[in-house]
A = this chain, B = another copy of it.
Amino acid sequence: MQIACVLYPRFTALDIIGPFQTLVDLRGVDTVFVAEVAGPVPDHTGRCHLVATHTFAELSAPDVVVVPGGMADQTATAEDPVVAWLRTVHPSTTWTTSVCTGAIYLGLAGILNGLDATTHWAAYDRLGQLGAVPIAERVVRRGKVITAAGVSAGIDMGLLLAAELAGERAAHGVQLAIEYDPQPPFDCGAPWKVPAELRARVAAALGGS
C-alpha cells in the first residue's frame, strides 16, 4: 500500500509530519514524499526543507494521499500542479486526505463539491467558496475523503487513518510509540477558547479571513 505525502513550496512542516509519523511504521505501507519536482522543498518559513523523493509524474496510483496546508493555497488556482495531480489520482485512491488548508487544494480539484469538510479555522470561508460545507470539527470523514483542522490536527487524523489501514490494535501501538498523551500547557488551541483580540491577531498574521 502506497501512501503519498504531498509537498509544495510554502507547505507547513507539522501538517505533513504529523500524519507521516502515525503511518510510516505500519506494516506493509510504502510512504513517500511527492512533489512537482524531486529534491528539497522549502516550507512556509523557508527554514525547513523536506526532500521529495518522487515527482507527481512518477506517482500515478497512490492508495492514500495526504495534502498538508501551508501559506501558498491563498493564491493557488485550479491549474496548480498539486490540484492537477489530485484530479488525476483521486478517482483511484482508497483515501484522499488533507490537513489544515490542504483542504483548499482538494476543493480546487472539485473533490469537496457539496461535501462536509474542515480546514484551519481561519479558512472556513474560503473552503465554503470552493463548494464544500465547512464544519468546525477536528476531523471530518465523508466516504473516502478525510479532512483535518489546522496543523496539529493531522496527528489525530493520522491515528484514525492508521486504524482504518491496519486495525485499531496497530493504531493503539502507534499512539503509545509516539507517546501521544497530549498535555498542552495552555488552553488556546481553538478559536472559541480565546479572546476575539487574539483570534483577530492570529488570523491577520496568517492572512486568513
> Which residues of A pack against B, CB within 8 Å?
12-14, 17-18, 20-21, 24-25, 31-33, 40, 45, 47-51, 53, 100, 120-121, 138-139, 149-153, 155-156, 159-160, 163, 168-169, 171-173, 175-186, 188-191, 193-194, 198-199, 201-202, 205-206
Contact = CB atoms under 8 A, between A and B. Distances in A.
Given A159-B184, A198-B176, A25 B45 contact: yes
Stoichiometry, as copies per complex, reads 2
A150 B179 contact: yes
Given A171-B186, A172-B194, A183-B156, A48 B177 contact: no
A179 B152 contact: yes
Contacts of A13: 17, 20-21
A115 to B, nearest CB: 21
Contacts of A178: 14, 150-152, 189
Contacts of A18: 14
Contacts of A17: 13-14, 17, 48
A22 to B, nearest CB: 9
